[in-house]
């Protein structure tokens, strides 16, 4: 599934609840999931690492939806497939690791 389809799916499934919770409330859920992902990264054998990545993505996508951001469009514009500094893919810049 692509990002645009995923955002549409989450909007159809949870859009009403997300809108009712608002940006601030949805952002707090997103941050909570980021904390859970941090724990899973530290101790992957004790947590559902895959699930935590999925949860973070879902909450970020929901947050973008209620903020009126089309994630597919903005990521295509910001990350066109080449490095903005060296214009290569993969990046061959020596200035940053």
pLDDT in tens, 22-39: 999 999 999 999 999 999
Residue 42 has a pLDDT of 98
Distance CA 35, CA 14 (A): 22
How many domains does the chain fold into?
Answer: 1
CATH at residue 23: 1.10.287.1080
pLDDT in tens, 24-80: 999 999 999 999 999 999 999 999 999 999 999 999 999 999 999 999 999 999 999
- Whether 95 is covered by a domain: the verdict is no
Q: Give the total residue count for the chain.
A: 97
Distance CA 92, CA 97 (A): 10
Distance CA 50, CA 33 (A): 12
Token pair recorded at residue 17: 């609840």
> What range does the domain containing 66 cover?
3-78
């Amino acid at each position: 599934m692509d990002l645009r389809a995923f955002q549409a799916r989450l909007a159809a499934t949870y859009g009403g609840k997300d809108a009712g919770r608002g940006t601030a409330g949805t952002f707090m859920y997103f941050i909570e999931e980021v904390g859970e992902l941090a724990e899973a990264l530290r101790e992957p054998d004790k947590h559902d690492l895959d699930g935590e990545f999925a949860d973070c993505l879902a909450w970020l996508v929901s947050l973008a939806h209620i903020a009126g951001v089309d994630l597919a469009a903005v990521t295509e514009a910001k990350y066109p497939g080449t490095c903005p500094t060296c214009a290569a893919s993969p990046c061959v810049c020596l200035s940053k690791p």
